[in-house]
Amino acid sequence: MLITSTRGWLFTLLALVAVVTGHSSRNALGQTPAAQACTLEPVSLPLFDATPAADIANAPVATTTVFTLDEDEIRSAVEALVECMNSGDAAYQYAIFTDRYLANLFVDPALAYQPQFEEQLARGPTGQAGGLHLIGVKAITLLDNGTMSVVVELGTGVTTFQDTLILADVDGVWLIDDVVKLNPPE
């Protein structure tokens, strides 16, 4: 997939995780064991139910109001995102993002080319399970719009990453709505 900006770094990380790790078997439904561990609804085609990406990108993310910070809940949510990133199936790997975040990538074809992404989804699981693991979650901050800023440290066994993510509670599920800081940057 063509991605030319830092905002697309997480897309690149997902591809790196697939390359760094080995092959896993699939079940009768074509899912890898890692995909079975992902509890999110997979991204499906037609992407955004055929709504133009620009329409979704311009809409604010719908968040559920959060009244307290629960560090255990946020850590569990990030662990669930990592499980999906390790799935070896693009439909689950990109389910970690809000529709608004994904749509923002496709508004500019120089950033990411939507038809190529949809072809990747249509191919189904690659069979490559990732080796990404969560090292830590810190600096959890509730933002005014109901989203959460979180510093996440991830490792691949080869290197570590410390990224600042904005998480949005969408229908009771925390998803990545923005990437504020990437370390190491692209």
Q: Domain of 36: which CATH number?
A: 3.10.450
Query: ω into residue 109 within 30 of 0, thus cis?
Result: no
Each residue of 138-181: pLDDT tens digit?
A: 989 988 888 899 999 999 888 888 999 999 988 888 999 999 87
Residue 105 falls within a domain, yes or no?
Answer: yes
CA 74/CA 79 separation, integer angstroms: 9
pLDDT digits (tens, 9 = 90+) for 99-110: 999 989 888 888
Query: Taking the complete model, does pTM exceed 0.75, yes or no?
Result: yes
Paired residues of 160 in beta bridges: 155
- Is the dihedral angle over the CA atoms 94, 95, 96, 99 positive or is it negative? positive
Per the structure, the complete domain to which residue 168 belongs is given by 6-181
The verdict on residue 1 lying in a domain is no
